[in-house]
Structure 1
Amino acid sequence: MSRKILGFIFVFIIVLVSYQCAQRGTPTGGPKDITPPELTRAEPPNLTTNFKGNKIRLYFNELVKLKDIQKQLIISPPLKNSPVLSPMGNANKYVEIIIKDTLEPNTTYTFNFGQGIVDNNEENPNSFFTYVFSTGNYIDSLELTGVVKDAFNKKADDFVSVMLYKIDTSYTDSTVYKKPPNYITNTLDSAVIFKLKNLKEGKYALFGIKDASSNNRFDQKTDKIGFVKDTINLPTDSIYLLNLFKEIPDYGVAVPSMEASNKISFGYYGVGTDIKIESLTEIPDSVRTKIMKEREKDTINFWFTPYEMDSLLFTITNEALKIQDTFKVKNRKVAFDSLKIAMSQKGNIEMNKPINLLSNTPLVSFDSTKIKLMDKDSIEIAYKLKLDTLENLLNFDFKIDPDQSYRMELIPGAVTDFFETTNDSVAYSFKTKSIADYGNLTLNLNGNSIIYPIIVQLTNEKGAIQREIYATEPQQYVFDNLNPGKYQARVIFDNNENGKWDTGSFLEKRQPEKISYYPTLIELRANWEKIETFNLID
């Protein structure tokens, strides 16, 4: 080969190498790290017996950090003082635990870290890593398994605390309110199955609590609770169900306040059907008063015609419970709460829902000659009008047609309230859609042991009730003129026949009424006729 050709090849190679070196590229790197950190050793070792110290170190094969550890770490039995953990905010090859409590003798302790120990780079968790030791000469090894569900909602809450209390001479029904349990675990994310491990043989009470304040106790005002009525005898092979519900809180009253120059509001919680409010302060005969529950609120309003005064002294008595409270309400400069009227439905109305006029002040009378209802052709429509003094509203009963527009006109003096105030001229417009804009749904229930009465309900995706049918015997459940959308169907078994769902009570050992949910959302489109079979499983 000639020297000229060899030189050409040499130059070509040099140019090619230089070109390749000049190319910019993005390094592909290796595959993403999905491997969780692994424990290499522990000091003292996991499952240590006759534990005497107060410091634990857990060594891992890579740098680790603690993530959301206050929520993730569950210690069973609970400690009075939270241990000191590190590293907090930094990464290290070990996790250190400093115990600040005096440990109970002959007791097995379990530290379940949940998803709280993660590697430093990708935050892969060492899921449900558990460290166990005993202050006695053996490790307790019994287990208990169960399932958590919500009594009212289709989906159970996450992070439900599952608590086991030893039944001994000190245990009473009030223990769950006052003391932490002997054993505890929790559910994570969407998990509903729980397992309590390293348990000691004996008799126990089992609870599930959505622990809002994270204090390992039941607070009736904020927490949901589920309980197993029967005593748990360990060892056991049974699988237990905890059906969580929010109790109606015990009766109580809030400090009343002067919300307007003609209204004092008395808030309460619990059952308020037997509340009686009386003024201990002498009120002039010229002052008129009226006591009325506020619509859809746990509030009772004391209405009065304003007059000069410094304060009023009241007693609030729950006659059923024989509980009486006394409050002093000071006068303050606030505006007069004057009559305002509003419609219960606006714009495109629901054909199967009532049309009401709502008032903020107590209604006392109406004059139907001053109220006119017309269709889109300005033809007057006959209606029936009823004053509901309990709900403080006027109900209009008339035939509502599809594809129709309505106009309601009130001239002055149509309604009068407690303060002898009447309405100004006002008009409301509303309409319905055509039949083709709606859909119809028929539900057929299928089950061998359906106990009546039942309430069949349709809710939207957020759980707000759209329609319901009360049934005392088998039938088809027809829901006509529904807006297009997705619906959730459920059946409430109305055991006490009061027409509503009733929650449970721990102290009364009463479980909530049963609810069965259709397994999926039901999609309904305009001009659809849909039939679904709802299989009710015992």
Structure 2
Amino acid sequence: MFAIHMQTKSLLGVFFAAVTVILLVLSGGGCANIVPPTGGPRDSLPPQIVRVTPADRTKHFDQEKITFYFDEYVDLNDVYQNLVISPLPKSVPQVDRKLKTVTVRLKDSLQPNTTYVLNFTNVIKDITEGNKAKDMLYVVTTGDYFDSLQLSGNVKMAKTIKADSTLTVMLHSNLEDSAVFKQRPEYIAKVDSTGDFLFRYLRPGTYRIYALKDEGGSYLYTSKTQGFAFADSPVVVSATPPPPVRLYAYAEEEQKAAGSAEEPELDKKEKRLKFQINLQGQQQDLLEPLVITFPSALKTYNPEKMLLTTDSTMTPVTGHTFTLDSTRKIITMNMQWQEGTRYNLVLPKDFATDSLDRGLLKPDTIRFTTRERKEYGQARLTFNKLDTTVHPVLLISQGGTLKNAFPLRSNILNIDLYNPGDYDLQVLFDRNNNGKWDPGDFIKHIQPEIIVPLDRKLTFKANWTLEPEINLKEPPK
């Protein structure tokens, strides 16, 4: 036994030595690298339905529970935001998932002879990679036929001509204007990233169509600050498909009451009135007013005591105005500045006090120099296809902030001074010719004014005149 054991050990030694040589040869004589298994290719396929009970396309549907069986373990993705049910139920169904199944429990009694659609697009995803099922529809009818009509369209924001995928499009069979305030719609459809929407399996009829930025699932138009759009006339859904519907959404900016902002806690140890000014390196922009900002509201304000002079003469300068804003925190001095000029703004001790009766401890002087014209760019813009009857207004913005609005009354626009930089261009079609963008008014059935971006920028350079030709676009229909 012992000899056999020793022989066996000898044979094993030879075997392991041979394996070691082979590994060294394969690794080029170095140490072998241990590489873990890759696990196979990445799963890129969304979950697939294996079966569903009751079956899809069931007629005379009368069940309260629907169970979907998938080919892999699944999860739910914002189900109550993404699941779209048409016609819209009064109560949101309960949706649960377990392993490879998803169960929907309906809480409403169903309408007779009605086609119901459950759209699970982006609702179902797999556990491993989060792949979402696209265009997953479950269609049943409580009658013996299926409604099969369609309605499509597109929604853009009137102020940007961009899509907003958070909007929901709604169909009301109640044609009264009041319905959108008081009554949930029959059908809803989500807007995609391009602004497109599609209703399927509609019953024939005449509908009012709206788009709404819904808050809380009420599908009611409750505030003018909501994103909202409406069509001027009802749309007829019939066997002859209606043309795609174009909607422009708008929202009024939320107005803040004067003085509603919470006042900062005052530093009672501070004995003097503090402020900030909008100068850049003691230089005043020729295109901007001088702005003085206070941390808290002023109690008293005496602009007649503020004195503007120049270094050259030290005599008072006229032609300027001081304005205190509604919050009583901002003083604006408007002035037709002279280039390359040194100014002094003299502030006496009692020109202003705050709520703690703090003023200046001694007179103060703000000294600054205006910039020179050669630091700015100029432009002579020529507009092709200009139609003044639609009241076009050229909007110049930078970083999303509107800088200037120029009504276009001829095909030539001269801009005398402009700060160097890159600027975006848009055209406002100013229907009421008041020089600014106006949102719509549903009560008066007034559509919002449209702003269209232009396919070019302006690049202003110091001491340089731009002379581009710009092709204007027509107002969207």
Q: TM-score, normalised by structure 1?
A: 0.71
Q: Is the 8 A contact 1:365 1:416 kept in 2?
A: no
Point out the structure with the larger strand share: 1
Q: Is the 8 A contact 1:451 1:493 kept in 2?
A: no
- Counterpart of 1:395, as a letter, is M
* Structure 2 unaligned regions, length at least 5: 1-13, 261-265
Q: Deviations over 1:347-371 (max 9, x none)?
A: 2554212224567447664336x52
Label 1:342 to 1:513 Cα distance change in 2 as closer, same or farther (>3 A): farther
Equivalent residue, structure 2, for 1:210: 213
Give the C-alpha shift of residue 232 in structure 1.
0.4
Q: Is the 8 A contact 2:74 2:124 kept in 1?
A: yes
Equivalent residue, structure 2, for 1:85: 95
**Which shows bigger deviation, 388-397 or 47-56?**
388-397
Q: Is the 8 A contact 2:384 2:469 kept in 1?
A: no
- Whether 2:394 is the aligned partner of 1:456: answer yes
Label 1:128 to 1:492 Cα distance change in 2 as closer, same or farther (>3 A): same
- Counterpart of 2:185, as a letter, is P
* Mapped partners of 1:172, 1:160: distance in 2: 22
RMSD: 3.7
Equivalent residue, structure 2, for 1:275: none
Equivalent residue, structure 2, for 1:355: 290
Label 1:113 to 1:381 Cα distance change in 2 as closer, same or farther (>3 A): farther
Label 1:48 to 1:378 Cα distance change in 2 as closer, same or farther (>3 A): farther
Give the C-alpha shift of residue 53 in structure 1.
0.4
- Counterpart of 2:96, as a letter, is S
* Mapped partners of 2:301, 2:216: distance in 1: 45
- Whether 2:319 is the aligned partner of 1:384: answer yes
- Counterpart of 1:410, as a letter, is L
- Counterpart of 1:176, as a letter, is V
Equivalent residue, structure 2, for 1:42: 52
- Whether 2:190 is the aligned partner of 1:186: answer yes
- Whether 2:262 is the aligned partner of 1:299: answer no
Q: How does 1:94-493 map to 2 (within 5 A)?
A: 94-167=101-174, 171-188=175-192, 190-235=193-238, 236-247=241-252, 297-299=256-258, 342=275, 345-347=278-280, 349-357=284-292, 360-361=297-298, 365-367=302-304, 371-374=307-310, 382-388=317-323, 393=331, 395-401=333-339, 407-414=344-351, 425-430=363-368, 438-440=376-378, 442-447=380-385, 449-451=387-389, 453-461=391-399, 463-478=400-415, 480-484=417-421, 486-493=422-429
Give the C-alpha shift of residue 532 in structure 1.
5.5
Q: Deviations over 1:422-457 (max 9, x none)?
A: 765334355556666554455433335342544322
Equivalent residue, structure 2, for 1:29: 39
Aligned identity (percent) is 27
- Counterpart of 2:437, as a letter, is W
Q: Select 1:53's aligned residue among 29, 43, 63.
A: 63
* Mapped partners of 2:35, 2:315: distance in 1: 79
- Counterpart of 2:394, as a letter, is V
Equivalent residue, structure 1, for 2:19: 14
* Mapped partners of 2:214, 2:91: distance in 1: 18
* Mapped partners of 1:34, 1:231: distance in 2: 43
* Mapped partners of 1:58, 1:495: distance in 2: 53
Q: Is the 8 A contact 1:362 1:417 kept in 2?
A: yes
**Which shows bigger deviation, 118-127 or 409-418?**
409-418
Q: TM-score, normalised by structure 2?
A: 0.80
- Counterpart of 2:183, as a letter, is K
Q: Is the 8 A contact 2:322 2:334 kept in 1?
A: no
* Mapped partners of 1:96, 1:229: distance in 2: 41
- Counterpart of 1:181, as a letter, is P
- Counterpart of 2:171, as a letter, is L
Q: Aligned with 1:16: secondary structure?
A: helix
- Counterpart of 1:299, as a letter, is A
Q: Is the 8 A contact 1:363 1:389 kept in 2?
A: no
* Mapped partners of 1:434, 1:195: distance in 2: 57
- Counterpart of 1:345, as a letter, is N
**Which shows bigger deviation, 34-43 or 214-223?**
214-223
* Mapped partners of 1:162, 1:379: distance in 2: 66
Q: Aligned with 1:241: secondary structure?
A: strand
* Structure 1 unaligned regions, length at least 5: 1-8, 250-268, 270-296, 302-333
Equivalent residue, structure 1, for 2:3: none
Label 1:72 to 1:16 Cα distance change in 2 as closer, same or farther (>3 A): farther
Structure ranking higher on relative contact order (CA contacts 8 Å, 6+ apart): 2
